[in-house]
A and B are shown apart, each in its own frame.
Chain A
Amino acid sequence: MPRPGFVLDVDRSTPPALIWHGEGFRLERLPAERSRVVYAPEPLSPLPDPDEAIRAALLAPLGDRPPLPELLRAGMRLTIAFDDLSLPLPPMRRPDNRQRVIETVLDMAAEAGVDDVVLIAALGLHRRMTETELRHALGDRVYDAFAPYGNLLQHDAEDPKGLVALGKTDLGEDVEVNRRVAESDLLVYVNINLVAMDGGHKSTTTGLMSYKSVRHHHNVRTLQHSRSLMDRPRSELHSSTWRIGRLLAKHVNVFQIETTLNNDTFPSQFSFLQKREWEWGVRDRASFLGASRGLDLLSPRARRSIFQSILAPHQMTSVQAGEVEAVHESTLANLHRQQVVDVEGQSDVVIFGLPHIGPYNVNSIMNPLLVSCLGLGYFFNMYIGKPLVRPGGVVILSHPTPWAFHPVHHPSYIDFFEEVLATTTDPAEIEKTYEERFATDDWYRHLYRTSYAFHGVHPLYMWYWGAHALEYASSTVVVGGNRRAVRRMGFRPASTLSDALEMAEDQVGRDPTITYFRCPPLMLAHVH
């Protein structure tokens, strides 16, 4: 029986805590008597036979959907959309959930004699996936059966011919969706629900729609009013996607398949990352020492390639299929079972150790904007109820924050960082002054469509993602980051965690209370 999450109050005998620091980690002793560490629940046991569970879910769908085979018939147009590279994190070992689910769906389609089947990677405004990445997600069999014949597509949010407008929601939100999806008799959406934000109507409304639609929920206003992003009923972003998704469901028959994973994040040689420090055995200590010494000897590039090659052993804990909202309710329950940790009250300071990977730097570089997005956008929002830190508190991030960018994946990020952030860091002003320019830029559009670049507007979304935290906390301190890059974002650089805590006292007074959110493994703090 895996143990639930745990909040440790730090005293003098507490061993130093492991804090993630990009492609590496630090051991830090936290101030006794006023610090606490939030640990994730231990990994749930996976489904014993995932393929059988998938089959069962497809045959016994939730909500008002009939079993999948009843929706399939010869001569129909079937489209299977699937989550892109940004999920799960780190990428999972083969076979990927998407491969298992899609193979099962294709089996049923073949039995029903469906021969017009197209697969679409639901990229949204993300970069296209490479052949290697597609093969990893779908498996070679699916890839080789579809790709050579042009039946494996990647969503293009900027293809004027490939999009169809379905109207507007009651609040005037444009609904513009992939033409193939709109013209299909059935859309099967295959999802991996890594965090509470994923899934539901958000899958189709961000993954298969155009910038014109996405801008209605990816903006400063919704993000500042999402308390949090991970708590759907209190998320303005989700309210918008739900409105748009319901309108889509009136035009398109959507059959949603959602899966959840346990938080078994690291392979056995890194198992110490998964454990609580005082429970480290001799082997854990040895592998920690070996790993940290070894990493010290490597160049940043070598460290990056090692960490990027980590495949997580996480496994499927649930699968549910059928009508979107019913499915998502069940998914969230399963997700909460794995991730929720109860925390009593807020603290003056919260510490996030940021790991090497976020949704937008798989096989890429964690540039400073992604550091900000991961820390202030994702980690800060990993709460239900209220944030871990009190209003006006201080957020401390730990990450090397190198002034480094992937020239192919993040071209508009480079320009945004060099030009826009040098002028202003205010999300609202950035949205007002720069969003249109970046979103409609022809060169970025060209790179997004033909190369492997994120959409031109994406770096702005990264910045909006932190808008709630920027507004809520009084300041952000980055430990061990590139000073120039940190300052460019309006954050304060600190050499060590102790210095960062000293600096925090300027805002929150002497001897502040501290919460260290020891993530990954992923968890969701329910703050009472």
Chain B
Amino acid sequence: MLREALEGRRIAITGATGFLGTALTERILRCLPQTEVVLIVRPGRRGATERMRRDVLANDCFQRLRQQLGDRFDEDTSRRVIALPGDVSLDGLGLDAAGRELLASCSTVVHSAATVSFDAPLDAAVEVNLLGPLRVAATLRLATSERAKTVAASDDAAAPHLVAVSTAYVAGGRRGLAPEAPLSETPFSPEVNWRSEVDAARRARSDTEAASRSPEMLARFRARARAELGAAGVPLLAEKTEKLRSQWADDRMVSLGKARAQALGWPDAYAYSKALGEWALLEERGELPVSIVRPSIIEASLAEPVPGWTRGFRMADPVIISYAKGLLREFPGIPEGIIDVIPVDLVVAAILAVAARGPLSSPDVVHAASGARNPLRYGQLVSLVRDWFSGHPLADDKGQPIEVPQWTFPGRQRVQHQLRQATTLLNGAERALRAMPLRGARADLAARIEERREDARRALGYVELYGSYTETEAVFSVGRLLQLQEGLSPEERREFCLDPAVVDWPHYCQDVYLPAVVAHARVPQAGGQRRPAPASRSREQRARRAILSPDRQLAVFDLENTLVATNVVDSYAWVATKQMGFPERARFTARILLEAPRMLRLDNQDRGDFLRWFYRRYEGGALGELGEEAWEMASDLLLAKSFPAGIRRVREHRALGHRTLLITGALDFLIEPFKPLFDDVVSAHMRTAGGELSGELEESPPTGEARALLMADYAAAHGLELAQCVAYADSTSDLPMLEAAGFPVAVNPETKLAAIARKRGWPVEDWSRSPGFRRPLLPFGPLQQGTGRDRAPSKGALQQRNGTLQQGPGRNHAGRKDIGHDATHKGSPAAAPTPGTKPQ
């Protein structure tokens, strides 16, 4: 009967890239060889046909059909499947006349496109779930009338039968039997004007968008972006701020949707928008023949095309995986309540049966649900899941089996309260850690806490989202569903089985569903071959091999805290204290410490501003002498606090033939001794007048996005590809540079960068100073020595304008740079008195 009714026909499907749509398409292609399919798919960038090939036909759902057809698969599908570019969120579905004609040539249109997530923003749910069916119906009416004009009074001019897929949960929070009837005919259904709901949803979106752009809110987003990224530069902060804003607006629309839905008696915006969609469709259908199929919770297939086939992350899957990972210590629910699950192949059969039977004189509703005929109790499900995972536990990151928790079915309020507390606590810890200037392993701790917080937040989300489904007390009647079954021949009843009674729940859960979920989620199972520790090590090795591949072209390094454990303040303190005695040193230290909070704050806000402000201290310094002292400082401070592994890495890159570039905000004359390490160096340059430093930088210092641009310019100038560039840096102020490079590496990252690197899977290097060596804590220059009798007097290199820095008599430092090793203390020949005279 079913076969006869559908053979030779053409069926259109919306939402074919979804779970149900894919299964439906596959079943038609495999079991109804004479039936054609029109898939209405959004064209995307690649076009509808390509998208259909990639997103529908390439799915493992079609594996069985491929095996059956062998080489004929492509030929068969290209003959029987037509991809029609269209979009249910557009009026007229975005179809042209030819598209409409194709649509009108179909005997049945199955509308299964929907926003299935329970936490969709209100307006998105309304646009797709409420207005979607209306648009389909309107387009079908238009297409039919157009066709009626061309094909005069032929039989074919009959309007296609629209089968709209809804959800059983449109019944809302009612108790007891929910009938298979339009909502308007169902007692206790709320009276809602769907048109005003649509208006309200659209208005709410524009109000929310406006609110999110208020100065107060924008300031909040900016502050949050800064807290997360630090001084990453204006463009990145702006991008992040905008992301946070639109995220906030979406979140707000989600909660508005939930609130509105719950106010009207539905658990969430999904059920609410689906219910209103049914309502609107039936009101607006006109002459169009319409049937509605209401599945409950659709899960992995029972038998067709293969047991356990699933697509995407289904509703219950994340909850189950979280449970198996031990993250959901509790979940609310009524143990004796019915959890209404229906395998996808049973729903497909129901839809096909409705399509085969054709429209009734008045719109009809069919439930595809198990609860009334073959109930699965929530308590039973939980113990089935628990038993299965006790025998097949997941593995933790060390490969040990994870013990699953025993749920006690507490009230939803209690679970939510506990989870909220945990989230708040972890939030606080995370914020505290982020505020501290941590690096390396300790910074990683913050990243770990962030992960834990994410886990807790996600768990809370599941409880809030799905809690109402485990607490449902409605029972969906299936009388009409069973009537459909009676219309099938005995053979068809086997082939297109739609009776929920066939499901053996323990078998389905433990042998079909849970293995499919675990396989699908790709989580490691205990006792498997995969050993996590070596896996992570090999990942590290792979990352290192990629970084040190001869294919790379450019390696860009930051200096401070990437190659040496010092900063501009240390360098300044070293040159400033070099001429000081003990009391001045103490005063100097006190002053720097007093200024420290301000420095930290400025540095956190904008590294460039900080450098400009800090470098004013060099005003009046003698460039010549500072340049010479830099050589002493390189040994006493920078090399003493260098990371040997980092310096080795620079050299490895050079040995591989990569160009190496140092980009640093340090002053050029101070890092002169490091120049030979790199092919090129970009640093800050200070204006001078008559050999004296002005305290002002020639150009803005290379920080933030300027670094990214410098790197890009450099690469372009040398004909190198950024995609083949490795960038090493330690802080989020280098984020633009890291993002621009093909191979970013976080070195001893501070907390914020550690979190980002972890999220994006960037390799992290933990470079430490030379083991066993510790320089004295304070970055002071060496003390004066010697009797000073024969020394040529010299002015201190760093003469502070206001005279707060006292100068002792200096040493002669000339010549070091030019003559190097041989001339530790070579003075100018003109100044030298007759040497060899008897020293007195």
Contact = CB atoms under 8 A, between A and B. Distances in A.
B839 A144 contact: yes
A148 B791 contact: yes
A462 to B, nearest CB: 17
Nearest to A157: B821
Interface stretch (B151-159, B389-397, B826-834): B826-834
A149 B835 contact: yes
Nearest to B833: A149
Interface in B789-805: 789-792
A115 B837 contact: yes
A291 interface: no
A451 B822 contact: no
A242 interface: no
Interface string A108-132: 0110001111100000000011011
B738 to A, nearest CB: 25
A108 to B, nearest CB: 10
Contacts of A402: 771-772
A404 B771 contact: yes
A158 B676 CA distance: 15
Contacts of B788: 144
A45 interface: no
Nearest to A451: B635
A140 B826 CA distance: 17
Given A149-B831, A443-B651, A403 B821 contact: no
A411 B647 CA distance: 10
B835 A145 contact: yes
A448 interface: yes
Contacts of A143: 786
B640 A450 contact: no
B835 A117 contact: yes
A430 to B, nearest CB: 18
A375 B787 CA distance: 40
Contacts of B826: 149-150, 153
A144 B789 contact: yes
B673 interface: yes
Interface residues of A, number: 63
A406 B773 contact: yes
Contacts of A140: 786-787
Contacts of A146: 835
Contact of B822 (A106, A149, A155): A155
A156 interface: yes
A300 B790 CA distance: 39
B837 A451 contact: no
Nearest to B636: A408
Contact of B815 (A150, A415, A452): A150
A404 B821 contact: no
Given A407-B640, A443-B651, A443-B676, A450 B839 contact: no
B218 to A, nearest CB: 47
A151 B812 CA distance: 13
B769 A156 contact: no
Nearest to A144: B790
A150 B785 CA distance: 18
B824 interface: yes
B494 interface: no
Contacts of A151: 832, 835
Contacts of A145: 790, 835, 837, 839
B212 to A, nearest CB: 52
Nearest to B816: A450
Q: Quick one: which of B636, B785, B824, B837 has the most chain A CB within 10 A?
A: B824
B634 to A, nearest CB: 6
Interface string B810-827: 011001110011111111
Contacts of B840: 141
A369 to B, nearest CB: 13
B785 A132 contact: yes
Q: Quick one: which of A152, A405, A450, A452 has the most chain B CB within 10 A?
A: A450
Q: Quick one: which of A106, A154, A408, A446 has the most chain B CB within 10 A?
A: A408
A142 interface: yes
B246 interface: no
Contact of A110 (B640, B787, B837): B837
A418 B821 contact: no
Nearest to B788: A144
Given A152-B825, A156-B821, A144 B786 contact: yes
A106 B821 contact: no
B631 interface: yes
A502 interface: no
Given A128-B821, A148-B827, A407-B639, A115 B836 contact: yes
A55 to B, nearest CB: 15
Given A407-B640, A408-B640, A162 B786 contact: no
A144 B770 contact: no
A451 B674 CA distance: 11
A159 B820 contact: yes
A408 B785 CA distance: 21
B506 interface: no
Contact of A159 (B774, B815, B822, B827): B822
Nearest to B650: A443
Q: Quick one: which of B635, B774, B828, B829 has the most chain A CB within 10 A?
A: B635
Contacts of A131: 785-786, 824-825
Nearest to B829: A150
Contacts of B676: 442-443, 446
Given A115-B837, A403-B772, A406-B773, A443 B677 contact: yes
B648 interface: yes
B310 interface: no
Contact of B773 (A152, A158, A407, A449): A407
A405 B772 contact: yes
B824 A152 contact: yes
A16 B732 CA distance: 60
B644 interface: yes
B22 interface: no
B825 A147 contact: yes
B175 interface: no
A412 to B, nearest CB: 10
A284 to B, nearest CB: 31
A135 B785 contact: yes
Contact of A451 (B673, B787, B825, B838): B673
A156 to B, nearest CB: 4
B553 interface: no
Contact of A403 (B673, B771, B837): B771
Given A143-B786, A144-B789, A158-B821, A415 B644 contact: yes
B644 A405 contact: yes
A166 interface: no
Interface in B731-770: 769-770
Nearest to B651: A443
B416 interface: no
A525 B509 CA distance: 84
A186 to B, nearest CB: 13
B557 to A, nearest CB: 14
Q: Quick one: which of B631, B786, B815 has the most chain A CB within 10 A?
A: B786
Given A103-B839, A117-B835, A144-B839, A414 B825 contact: no
B75 to A, nearest CB: 59
A154 B833 CA distance: 20
B825 A148 contact: yes
Contact of A149 (B634, B636, B647, B827): B827
Contacts of B644: 405, 407, 411, 414-415, 418
A95 to B, nearest CB: 13
Given A411-B647, A415-B644, 14 more contacts: A106-B836, A106-B838, A115-B836, A131-B825, A132-B785, A134-B824, A141-B840, A404-B770, A405-B772, A407-B644, A411-B639, A450-B631, A450-B816, A451-B673
15 contacts: A106-B836, A132-B785, A144-B789, A148-B792, A149-B827, A150-B828, A155-B822, A367-B772, A405-B644, A411-B644, A411-B647, A419-B648, A449-B821, A450-B631, A450-B673
The 5 closest A-B pairs by CB, nearest first: A404-B772, A150-B826, A156-B821, A407-B770, A117-B836
